[in-house]
Amino acid sequence: MIIEDYKKLVLPIKNKLFRFSLRIVGNVAEAEDVVQEVFIKVWNKRSELDTYKNIEAWCMTLTKNLSIDKLRSKHRRVDAFADTFDMPSEAASPYQVAATNDTMGRIGKMMTELPEKQRMVMQLRDIEGMSYKEIAEILSVTLDQVKINLFRARKAIRSQLLNSESYGL
Amino acid sequence: MDSNKIDHILEKYWEGESSLQDEAMLREYFSQEDIPAKYESIRPMFQFFKTEQASFLDGDFDERLTSKLKAVEATDNIKPRRHSLTVYIRRAAAVAAIFIGVLFVFNKVMVKPPSGLAMTEKAEAKLAYAEAKAALMLISKKLNKGTSKAESGIVMVRKATDVIKE
C-alpha cells in the first residue's frame, strides 16, 4: 500500500479520532499527537488491514488507549512536579473562567467532570452518533454497560442544567 | 414538531433508549429559535453536541502526517539490511556457543571418566591386591614350613656328625 492510498482510507476519520482524544486528554496539541500516533501504528500494520472488519472502530480503540496512557503519564508528571513545588491545583486561567461562564463552556466543563467511562460513552453517542454496538466494541464493554453509562451521564448533565436554571445561572 | 412527540422522544433519551434517528431529531429541534420555554434549560446541551461535531484538526495535520509516514517508510527500507547483519552476527555467536559447549562436554568426558567406571576399576584393583596378597601369604607360609624342616634336618645332621666324631 502506498501512502496516498493509505491517507484516503484513514483521513476521513481523523476529526472523529481527534474529538474523541480531545475529550479524554483535554488538550488540542496532545490530541493531535495521539491521532498522528494512531495513524502511524495503523500504517505499521498495513499488511494486516484486511483482517480488521471495522477499521474505524479499531482506530477509535487505539485512540482511547493512547489517550488514556497520555493522560495518566501526564498526571504522573504533574504529581511528581507537585511533590517538589507548591502548585495551585487546577487553577483556572482568566480565559478558562470566561469560557466556563459561557453556556457552551459550562456544558463542556460538566462533561469533562463526568467519570471517564461516562464521558467516553456520551462523546461517542451524542457527538459522534455511533451505535451502542460500536461503542461497546470500542470500549470493550457490554451493551448494558454502554446504556447504563449513557443513562448516568445524561442524568448528571440534566440535573446540573436544571440546578443552574433554579439558581438563575 | 408536536411537543408531545418531543416529550416522548426526550423520555426515551433520558432513559438511554432512544435511537440514533431520535437523537438527530432532537438536535435539529433544539437548534430552532422558537421552542417552548419548558425546554430552555436543556436546549444548550443539544446545541453543544451539534457545535462539538464541528471541531476539526488544523489544516496542516495532513502534511505533517505525510512527512511522518514518509520518514517511517524510509526507516523501514533501511531496516532489513541492518536486520540481516544483526542476524548473521547472532547466528555466528550461536554457532560459537554450541561449539564451545560441545568442546567443554567432550573434554569433561575424556579427561575424567564417569564416577561409576572409576569405582569399578578401584574395586578391581582392590580385588587384585587381595588376591596377590593371599598368594604371597601362601608362598610365605609354604616357605616357612620348609625352613623348619630344613632346620630339623640340620639338627639331625649335626647330631649324626657328633656321633661319628665320638
Residues A80 and A122 both lie in one domain: no
Residues B142 and B159 both lie in one domain: yes
The per-residue pLDDT for B83 is 57
The per-residue pLDDT for B49 is 92
The per-residue pLDDT for B33 is 85
Residues of B in contact with A161 (CB under 8 A): 41-42, 44-45
Does B55 sit within 8 Å of A18, measured CB to CB? yes
The per-residue pLDDT for B102 is 85
Q: What tens digit of pLDDT does each residue of B84-105 get?
A: 677 778 888 888 888 888 888 8
Cα distance from B6 to chain A (closest Cα, Å)?
Answer: 16
Residues A74 and A37 both lie in one domain: yes
Residues B67 and B95 both lie in one domain: yes
3 state DSSP class of A30: helix
Residues A80 and A55 both lie in one domain: yes
Residues of B in contact with A11 (CB under 8 A): 62, 65
Domain of residue A157: give its range: 92-169
Residues A107 and A70 both lie in one domain: no
Q: What tens digit of pLDDT does each residue of B74-87 get?
A: 887 766 555 567 77
CATH number at residue A86: 1.10.1740.10
Residues A86 and A101 both lie in one domain: no
Residues of B in contact with A15 (CB under 8 A): 55-57
Residues A98 and A154 both lie in one domain: yes
Does B14 sit within 8 Å of A158, measured CB to CB? yes
The per-residue pLDDT for A77 is 64
Angle CA B130–B134–B138, to nearest 5: 170
Q: Is B42 an interface residue toward A (CB < 8 Å)? A: yes
Q: How many domains does chain A have?
A: 2
Does A40 sit within 8 Å of B69, measured CB to CB? yes
Residues A14 and A83 both lie in one domain: yes
User: Closest to B20 (Cβ–Cβ): which among A39, A131, A164?
Assistant: A131
Cα distance from A80 to chain B (closest Cα, Å)?
Answer: 31
The per-residue pLDDT for A134 is 95
All residue ranges of chain B with pLDDT < 70 are: 78-84, 110-119, 145-148, 150
Residues B126 and B104 both lie in one domain: no
Does B48 sit within 8 Å of A40, measured CB to CB? no
User: Of A75, A91, A107, which residue is a domain's last?
Assistant: A91
Cα distance from B50 to chain A (closest Cα, Å)?
Answer: 7
Domain of residue B36: give its range: 3-52
Cα distance from A149 to chain B (closest Cα, Å)?
Answer: 9
Query: Could you state, in chain order, the average pLDDT of each consecutive group of 10 residues for chain A (169 residues)?
Result: 86 95 93 96 89 90 96 72 45 46 83 95 96 96 96 95 70
Q: Is B80 an interface residue toward A (CB < 8 Å)? A: no
Rounding to the nearest 10 degrees, give the CA dihedral for residues B53, B57, B63, B64: -140
Cα distance from A130 to chain B (closest Cα, Å)?
Answer: 8
Does A7 sit within 8 Å of B62, measured CB to CB? yes
Spatial separation of the C-alpha atoms in residues B6 and B2, rounded to whole Å: 7
Residues A103 and A75 both lie in one domain: no
Spatial separation of the C-alpha atoms in residues A21 and A24, rounded to whole Å: 5
The per-residue pLDDT for B29 is 93
Q: How many domains does chain B have?
A: 3
User: Of A66, A91, A116, which residue is a domain's last?
Assistant: A91
User: Closest to B70 (Cβ–Cβ): which among A3, A22, A155?
Assistant: A3
Residues B129 and B103 both lie in one domain: no
The per-residue pLDDT for B142 is 74
User: Of A27, A60, A91, which residue is a domain's last?
Assistant: A91
Residues of B in contact with A151 (CB under 8 A): 14-16
User: What type of residue sits at position B51?
Assistant: T
10 Å CB burial of residue A26 (0-12, 13-18, 19+) is middle
3 state DSSP class of A115: coil
The per-residue pLDDT for B117 is 62
